[in-house]
Structure 1
Amino acid sequence: MVEFANFDTRHYPTVDVRTGYGQWVTSYEDTVEDLMDLAVLEGLSAPRWSEVEQAADLGCGTGRTGAWLRARGVGAVDGVDLTPEMLARAEARGAHRALLEGDLASTGLPGGRYGLVISSLVDEHLPELAPLYREAYRLAAPGGLCVLVGLHPQFIMSAGMPTHFTTAEGTDLAIDTHLHLVSDHLTAALGEGWQLAEMREAVVDGRWTALKPKWARHLGVPVSAAYVFRK
């Protein structure tokens, strides 16, 4: 296992996921760029979003992904998240049919129902990947897809930057960050019975440097990865 601590250049005080996102919720939408995840999802070819009748949104957060899915014709989206404050924002957004507070390894959602199980910007907070892929497999209907999009491990290593935010008091806090190689995803998912259908990697390009000029030193480095698996 590759430890993120070996690459950490920020050394911010670190909090657990529930605490961190509970505090970040007020500024989360203003700091997370669509280029990181939603633009990568847009470029996938395997999912036929408008044909999905039911989706499970694991780590649904404020409802960004759920709203994106509904805008692309997904019939109904059920969300699960660990953080009550995030779920409150998602509920106010109104994109989800149902919202549950829970662990992504044991969601409480019904099994075998969903044509799509999706997780966005979550995997770096998980010590192990297998429980997520195992639960996703339980939730998916036969032929259903599991789509995961998140930070690319090469970017995490290159930037040495954990998932972090600035509190209302101006303090930079990191949220528990774990480093998972591409092979870790493939090993975990295939081990749970998934078949790889598609994979895309997005690099730091001119769109990114326009938003974050300091990222010019990362030009060409993979920043996001999207994996699509079929049951």
Structure 2
Amino acid sequence: MVDFAQFDTRGYPTVDVRTGYAAWVGSYENTVEDLMDLDVLASLTTPAWADVDRAADLACGTGRTGAWLRAQGVHAVDGVDLTPEMLAVARSRGNHARLVEGDLAATGLDADAYPLVITSLVDEHLPSLQPLYREAFRLATPGGLFVLVGLHPQFIMAAGMPTHFTAADGSELAITTHVHLVSDHVTAGLAAGWQLAEMRERVVDDVWVAKKPKWERFRGQPVSAAYVWRKP
């Protein structure tokens, strides 16, 4: 892991994950672009989404990923999140069979029970990747997949921009952000017993610049990445 502080160009006041997402919940759905995560998931060729009978949606948040999975034909999705306010929104959407307030490192979900474990836009908040990869491995069935999609470390470093949101009073607040290199993911995944099956990197392109014209200066930079791991 690389210390984000050496790249930070914003200097926003920073809050912890639970505090930040509780305050962000009202505007979260209008802030996060599908290009960042859902479009990257759609580009993957390894997961046969419609064949998955049960998935564990870790850091499920407001239920964006769960809704997308159900739309792809995943039969049932169980969600886990640290923030009660986010879980309340996910619950109102009705796409999860079960929702649990809990930590990603110790979800309390059944072991060897999920053909698919997935997490989106969370790894930059974790001080270490190993607990997440170990817990995902515990949850997955033999032959099951772990799909992780998140901000690309190169983009976090190039932009110097933490995960942040506009608070109710109009101020900008950052949520604790860490930089995990691609090699950190590979090391943590292999150490947990996973086999890497697929990886995709999404760069800032015409579509992104149309959404965010100020990102023209980042054109060609990878902005998000997805890893697909298989449990032997």
Please, what TM-score do these two structures have when normalized by structure 2?
A: 0.99
> Which residue matches 2:125?
125
SS of aligned partner of 1:150: strand
**Structure 2, gaps ≥5 residues long:** none
SS of aligned partner of 1:27: helix
**Structure 1, gaps ≥5 residues long:** none
SS of aligned partner of 1:144: strand
1:139 alignment partner AA: L
| Residues 209-224 of structure 1: pairs in structure 2 closer than 5 A | 209-224=209-224
SS of aligned partner of 2:207: helix
Shift of 1:132: 0.2
> Which residue matches 2:184?
184
Distance in 1 (alpha carbons) for counterparts of 2:4 and 2:206: 27
> Which residue matches 2:10?
10
> Which residue matches 2:156?
156
Shift of 1:133: 0.4
Residue 38 (str. 1) matches residue 38 (str. 2)? yes
Distance in 1 (alpha carbons) for counterparts of 2:168 and 2:192: 41
**What is the CA deviation profile of residues 65-123 of structure 1, one whole-angstrom value per residue up to 9, with x for unaligned ones?**
00000000001000000000000000001100000000000001001010000000000
Residue 22 (str. 1) matches residue 22 (str. 2)? yes
Residue 80 (str. 1) matches residue 62 (str. 2)? no
Shift of 1:168: 1.3
> Runs of 4+ in structure 1 displaced over 2 angstroms?
none
**What is the CA deviation profile of residues 138-187 of structure 1, one whole-angstrom value per residue up to 9, with x for unaligned ones?**
00001000000000000000000000000111000000000000000000
% identical equivalent positions = 74
Distance in 2 (alpha carbons) for counterparts of 1:95 and 1:105: 23
Distance in 1 (alpha carbons) for counterparts of 2:209 and 2:148: 25
Q: How well do the aligned residues superpose, as a CA RMSD in angstroms? A: 0.4
| Residues 93-172 of structure 1: pairs in structure 2 closer than 5 A | 93-172=93-172
1:96 alignment partner AA: H
Distance in 1 (alpha carbons) for counterparts of 2:77 and 2:124: 23
Aligned residues: 231
2:126 alignment partner AA: L
Distance in 2 (alpha carbons) for counterparts of 1:60 and 1:139: 15
> Which residue matches 1:227?
227
Distance in 1 (alpha carbons) for counterparts of 2:11 and 2:46: 39
Shift of 1:211: 0.7
Shift of 1:2: 1.1
